[in-house]
Amino acid sequence: DTAVSQTPKYLVTQMGNDKSIKCEQNLGHDTMYWYKQDSKKFLKIMFSYNNKELIINETVPNRFSPKSPDKAHLNLHINSLELGDSAVYFCASSQDTENTEAFFGQGTRLTVV
Amino acid sequence: DAKTTQPTSMDCAEGRAANLPCNHSTISGNEYVYWYRQIHSQGPQYIIHGLKNNETNEMASLIITEDRKSSTLILPHATLRDTAVYYCIVRAGASGSRLTFGEGTQLTVNP
């Protein structure tokens, strides 16, 4: 049973398209995140939700819109995709916002052509 | 969150201990030291974390100096599967739990 699962694993799409990445965790955690890892391998946080409420929103273009229908799901919708959006996107979850470890999904490799 | 400094890369022989250093000289009193690793093409994996005392779990040991300005992650018997990028992260408990990843250390375990 995968603790944090993302779909799809790979996504190739054309510029200008709109796409979504889904994330689900079965750990009963309250907090979920989206991280982006660019071609230089830097991992940066994009968003964090706690109990379905947005608590971290880094400097991310508003073409990126996270949605948390319930505590177990945090989806990422991206409008008007650009070449620079190509990256690996990781979903993660943790018990809460305090000092607990985060569990990461296997990532979604997005390629915009 | 405090900035950390790690060597870019390290090598270790299989079966030997791997000691990965991290400097965090500007760490604050309420900041914890976390270690994660990322095996190629996988998501980051939590290893261990600590505040002041040394910590040990089934994966590794964390040694934090008395002044808390540096720490060492120890993998007691490195295997080929431990080849990965290791990240040392310092964060406060009430930081909204963001993890700020640096460049990490590429550990290569050689047969």
CB of A27 within 8 Å of a chain B CB? The answer is no
Sort A111 into a burial class: Cβ within 10 Å, 0-12 / 13-18 / 19+.
middle
A42 reaches B (C-beta below 8 A): yes
Contact A45 B41 (CB under 8 A): no
Q: What average pLDDT does range A34-62 have in this prediction? A: 88
Note whether B98 and B79 are within 8 A (CB). Answer: no
Interval B26-61: pLDDT, tens:
998 888 999 999 999 899 999 999 999 899 999 999
Is residue A65 pLDDT above 70, yes or no? yes
Q: Quote the mean pLDDT of chain A.
A: 92
* pLDDT confidence tier of residue B75, bands split at 50, 70 and 90: very high
**Per-residue pLDDT at B73:** 98
Q: Search chain A and give the residue with CA nearest B87.
A: A43
Mean pLDDT across chain B: 92
Reported residue count of chain B is 111
Give the chain B residue nearest A93 (alpha carbons): B97
Kindly give, in sequence order, each residue whose CB lies less than 8 Å from that of residue A45, ignoring residues fewer than 6 positions away.
A33, A34, A35, A56, A58, B98, B99, B100
Tell me the residues of B at the A interface, defined by beta carbons under 8 Å apart: 32, 34, 38, 41-46, 49, 85, 87, 93-101, 103
- Chain B within 8 Å of A108 (Cβ-Cβ)? no
Q: Tens digits of per-residue pLDDT, B8-30?
A: 999 999 999 999 999 999 998 88
Question: Rounded to 10 degrees, what is the CA torsion of A84, A86, A88, A94?
Answer: 50
Residue B101 scores a pLDDT above 60: yes
- Please give the Cα distance from B31 to B26 (Å, whole number): 10
Q: How far is B78 from chain A (nearest CA, A)?
A: 22
